[in-house]
Every structure is written in C-alpha cells, then in structure tokens.
C-alpha cells in the first residue's frame, strides 16, 4: 500500500511540475511581451522574442522526452 501511494504521489508531482513549468513560462513571456509592447523598440522586441524561445526550450525538451518514453511503452 505504501509503495503504491508513493508511486502515485511521485507521478502526480512529475505531471504538476511539467504543467507548472509551462504555465510559469507562459506568464513570464506574457509579462515581458507586455513590457516590449508598452514602448516598442527593436531591442525590446528582440529581447521578448529571444526570451520566449529560451524559456520554452526546457519545456519542449521535457515534452519530447515524455513522448519518446510513451512511444517505447505502447507496443507492449
């Protein structure tokens, strides 16, 4: 019973962590985009675009790893 509960909690935290990372990235990108649009200059727009790309890279890497693991498990 304890091992089952521990496994469920571990899986729940992994899912929550991924979702939280994505939501946090989304809100930070939204904030910096608002800052860039308040007084748009080329530098601000470049910073906002670069930030959006850099922030979402870890989230995309985690998602691709998860998809790769799911593809390996499906044929069974």
Q: Where are the domains of the chain?
A: 18-73
Mean pLDDT value across residues 57-70: 78
Q: What is the pLDDT of residues 7-63, one digit of tens each?
A: 888 887 777 777 787 888 889 999 999 999 999 999 999 999 999 999 888 777 877
- Longest CA–CA span in the chain (Å) reads 59
Q: What is the DSSP string of 10-69?
A: HHHHHHHHHHHHHHHHHHHHHHHHHHHHHS--HHHHHHHHHHHHHHHHHHHHHHHHHHHH
Statement: residue 73 has pLDDT above 70: no
Name the pLDDT band for 75 (thresholds 50, 70, 90).
Answer: low
């Amino acid at each position: 019973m304890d091992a089952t509960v521990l496994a469920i909690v571990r899986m729940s935290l992994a899912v929550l962590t991924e979702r939280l990372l994505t939501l946090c990235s989304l809100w930070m990108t939204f904030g910096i985009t608002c800052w860039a649009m308040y007084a748009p200059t080329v530098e601000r727009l470049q910073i906002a675009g670069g930030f959006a790309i850099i922030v979402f890279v870890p989230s995309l890497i985690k998602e691709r790893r998860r998809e790769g693991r799911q593809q390996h498990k499906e044929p069974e």
